[in-house]
């Protein structure tokens, strides 16, 4: 019974830790600036920030729009 309980706790924690994965490859696939920021920071997709200003996917985040961190 303890093992089953611990398994369910693990599943709940694991499912809620990351909202996005790292499977997308292009900015046009991003649905939000927060998702684009996740790909830049957590997935190491430096190509999403071509000009190196810290704002990924200018088409999604745009100049002056920052993702909530």
pLDDT digits (tens, 9 = 90+) for 3-42: 654 555 555 554 444 678 899 999 999 999 999 999 999 9
Q: Does residue 57 surpass a pLDDT of 60? A: yes
Q: What is the pLDDT of residue 32?
A: 94
Cα separation, 28 vs 12, in Å, equals 31
Angle at 6 between CA 16 and CA 2, to 5 degrees: 160
Q: What is the pLDDT of residue 49?
A: 95
Q: Does residue 60 surpass a pLDDT of 60? A: yes
pTM: 0.64
- Tokens (6 digits) for 53: 């200003």
Cα separation, 21 vs 30, in Å, equals 12
pLDDT band, residue 65 (cuts 50/70/90): low
Q: How far is CA 60 from CA 20, 25, 34, 39, 64, in A?
A: 16, 14, 9, 13, 11
């Amino acid at each position: 019974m303890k093992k089953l309980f611990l398994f369910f706790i693990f599943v709940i924690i694991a499912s809620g830790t990351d909202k996005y994965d790292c499977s997308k490859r292009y900015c046009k696939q991003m649905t939000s600036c927060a998702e684009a920021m996740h790909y830049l920071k957590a997935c190491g997709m430096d190509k999403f920030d071509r000009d190196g200003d810290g704002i990924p996917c200018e088409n999604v985040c745009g100049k002056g729009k920052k993702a909530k961190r």
